[in-house]
Structures are given as C-alpha cells and as structure tokens.
Chain A
Amino acid sequence: MSRIAFTKDHEWISVEGDVGTVGITDYAQSQLGDIVFVDLPEVGKTLALGDEAAVVESVKAASEIYAPVSGEVIEVNGELSGSPALVNEKAESDGWFVKLRLSDPAELDSLMDEAAYKAFVEGL
C-alpha cells in the first residue's frame, strides 16, 4: 500500500512501507525552469524534517529541496547526474531525488494529500 503526500514547498513523497521516495512537483519544476544540475546527499545521511535534502540548479539560480519528513537516505537517483533535465520532464516519477527510510511516519500526517495540494497550487 502506498500513499503520496505533498509539502507547501512543492516536494512530493511517495511512501511504501517505511521507505519514501522524494521529488519535486511538476508545478515546482515549471517554476524553476531548465534544471542543469542536482546536488544530491550522500547515501547514509540522516535528515531531519526540513533539512536540506538536495539542491536543484536551474540556468538562473540554485534552489534548496527540503526533507518532507525525517529519515535516512538509502538511495539517490543516479540518473540525475547525467540527465538533470529528467526533473523537468518527469518531475513526479523518474525525476525523483532520494529515497528515505522514514524515522517517524507520523510526520506524514501533517502533509497535504493530492487533492489538498492541488487546491493549494490553484490558490497561488
């Protein structure tokens, strides 16, 4: 059983068991523009909720991506080093950044579900 949740900073996390895959939303990539580099964390790094999980560099600027929940980085998306534009092309699937082993799944409850996020973006 998987569930997907969203932050107000436009990250998504798709959770299966105690592992969450984190990326940015299609809305976020459209705002950032052409992505040319993604700085990913080391596997094994422990992130607290709100810690910098990655940095996305567009042509124009660098933007921090925050951990939507606490956990340990168990995998990073190696495809992004050669193809950072995957984030633009498939933000909510192949353009994922990191997989986290959640340390406190209850944190998911404070995030938005898909419908709430959609309403949030429409209100921007």
Chain B
Amino acid sequence: MADSSGDTVLTTPLNALHRELGGRMVPFAGYDMPVQFPAGIMAEHNHTRTAAGLFDVSHMGQVRITGPDPVAAIERLVPGDIAALQPGRMRYTMFTDDRGGILDDLMVTRRENDLFVVVNAACKAHDIAHLRAGLSDHTVEELADRALLALQGPAAAAVMARLAPEAVKLGFMSGAEVTVAGHACFVTRSGYTGEDGFEISVPDTAAEALARLLLAEAEVKPIGLGARDSLRLEAGLCLYGHDIDTTTSPIEAALAWTISKRRREQGGFPGAVVIQDQLARGTARKRVGIQPEGRAPAREGTPILDPAGNRIGTVTSGGFGPTVNAPVAMGYVATGHHAAGTPVALEVRGKMLPAKVAAMPFAPHRYAK
C-alpha cells in the first residue's frame, strides 16, 4: 500500500465502504478518496448543516509525541500556547519556518502523558520528519494503524449520545479516550465544518465497523471531500496549500488569535522575530472573506482589484456556499482594503464583478459550549 515512490495510490480503511456507498473516487493528497456520494455536494453540505455528516479523514496524519517534556518540545516548532492547555484540551496551531511562513497547520491535544497531533495528509511525511528533527530528544510516532472519522453537524451529539455517552461530555476543543461501540477510540470535540461535532481516532481494523454503525443512525449520511471544502470555506477555515503556505505568515493569514500573549512575548518558535515584528508593525496584506455580489463564483487565483481597477490581491479559496446560498471566497488583500464592507472587484473571465470584503465566517459557527 504505502510506497516511498509516491506513485502508488494510498487507500484508507474505509475505501471499500466508500465504493459500496457509490462514492465518486478521486486522487487527493496521494489517497483514493470520495469527492462526493450519490446525494451530491449540495445535499451533503446541507445535510451536515442540518443533521450529521460522516467524513473519512483517515488520510490525515495522526501523531503521538512522547518524551521528557513534549509540551515544551513542540513549542519549539509552533507558536501555539500548548503549555496553557490542561490535559484533555486541544488547540489549533501551525508549524512555522524561519521566515514566519506556515509549513502546515495542525491540531494539538495535550494528554496526560503525551501529545496527540493531527496534521494534513499532503504534509504529513514532511511534518513527521520536521518533528523528529526538531524534537530529537522525544519520540515521534505516526499512528498509521488508526483511522480518523469525523461526525459533524447539529445532530452529531445526539448520535454520539447513543453510541458513546461519555463523548458528549466533552466540551469544544477537548478530547478523551472513549469506548465507542466497544472500540477503544480517542475522541475530540472538534472539526472542520463550523458545526458541533467529533473526530474519532479508531483502530484501523475497527474503522469500517464503526463507520457502518454511525451510518446506521437515522441522522447520519456519508459526506465527501467536496462538501468538506464548501463547509470549511463557509466556516472561514483555512485550507493548507491554498489559503496558507510558506509564503503566508500566521499574522497575514489573520491567525494571530492562535498566538497567546506569552508566546508573542517570549517567542521561541521558528520565525518568531518576523512574526513579532508583524504583530507590532502590521503586515502589508491580510486574509479576508470576500462576498461576490452576483451569482458567479470566484475561484482560487481570481485577481482582486480596488474599484479603480488596481490589483490589490488574489482569491485563495472560492466557490459556492450552499448554506449562504451565494458564492463565497477568501483571499488576501492589501492592508487598507481589508475592513469588512470594503468594495472590491473580482476579475472573472475578463469581467469585473463587484464584491465586498466580508466578515468570516460566512455561516455562523455552532460549536458546542
């Protein structure tokens, strides 16, 4: 299955189930993944916002870090305040480079004796090498024998209450070892849709059985990568490699909220000098939401202009938001044009389409308390 040549298409433990469910399979980050099921992206998106969607995110990297002081160790690589986390709490942060660029974004859960880290599929080999190089005094273990399922939506908690009542006690951005239908899982109250939900790390051998159990619940339907993208875009969440990458800093990306006062003051992560300078003096550009005024979506790469026709930025993610029932986008604009409500134009197929800088999220977050 795995192959260092990169030519082999990888599969998750749910591959056969996706095919059985009629998933339209596409290559994604080296994996054969469902972009949609027969219901289609629009229906899958809306189902997740009104009931519960089941996502296979097993392609993402799950990593366990152990050693003398994993909290202090990972803080050498990320600007997030991991030390401020109580055991069982989690945080969104990013690996930065020496220029303050973003190597990947990740979720870090502090557990009693280790850290549980989830990284992007496309970055995971690099991330694991980066962690091993930076944390040579610690053990960095890829949990390759675990699948990751996300159950997202307003009915997710009711579904979990039937299968694993303990999980429903978790607050947003918390995690715990929970037995789900007899399977030893690590469950977090988190997700990538803007909705309440859970991510369930499950042994790969139990993944299909657990997925079938979840899908047997009346509220739950399978959701592909297409709706995952439209859901996260409406929620204003970044997609690595598109909205953030090594050319964007966390400050430009409007992710300064992920860096605590202590970390801003103390630094101690790659690119801290650059990021501290940007926090003090501002940046030349900012990631913002963009709301086209018409019906035409503006895709990634669309030039953003001021009303006079001067180029001020570029769309980094754009498409149609089924919940807002309108096109939505995000991108970078020159500072000064970044306030919500600022009129801009989008150059789509040679036409200048009116749009406004918009506050994000486009669809309100509805996380658990």
Contacts and interface: CB of A to CB of B under 8 A. Distances in A.
Q: Are A and B co-members of a single complex?
A: yes
Interface of A: 33-34, 36-37, 39, 55, 57-62, 81, 84
B296 A57 contact: yes
B35 A60 contact: yes
B36 A33 contact: yes
B36 A37 contact: no
B226 A81 contact: no
Q: Which 4 A-B pairs have the closest CB atoms?
A: A34-B42, A36-B320, A59-B41, A59-B320
B226 A59 contact: yes
Contacts of A33: 36, 40-42, 226
A60 B41 contact: yes
B223 to A, nearest CB: 13
Interface residues of B, number: 19
A40 B320 CA distance: 18
B40 A62 contact: no
Nearest to B321: A59
A59 B42 contact: yes
Interface in B14-50: 35-36, 40-43, 45
B230 A59 contact: yes
B267 interface: no
Contact of B41 (A34, A55, A62, A81): A34
Interface string B340-359: 00000000010000000000
19 contacts: A33-B42, A34-B40, A34-B43, A34-B322, A36-B295, A36-B320, A37-B297, A39-B349, A55-B349, A57-B320, A59-B42, A59-B45, A59-B230, A59-B322, A60-B35, A60-B226, A60-B230, A60-B319, A62-B299
B327 A37 contact: yes
Contacts of B252: none
A57 B302 CA distance: 14
Given A55-B349, A60-B229, A37 B42 contact: no
A36 B230 CA distance: 13
Given A33-B36, A33-B226, A36-B320, A57 B42 contact: no
A59 B322 CA distance: 8
Contacts of A60: 35, 41, 226, 229-230, 319
A34 B36 CA distance: 11
Contacts of A84: 295
Interface in B217-263: 226, 229-230
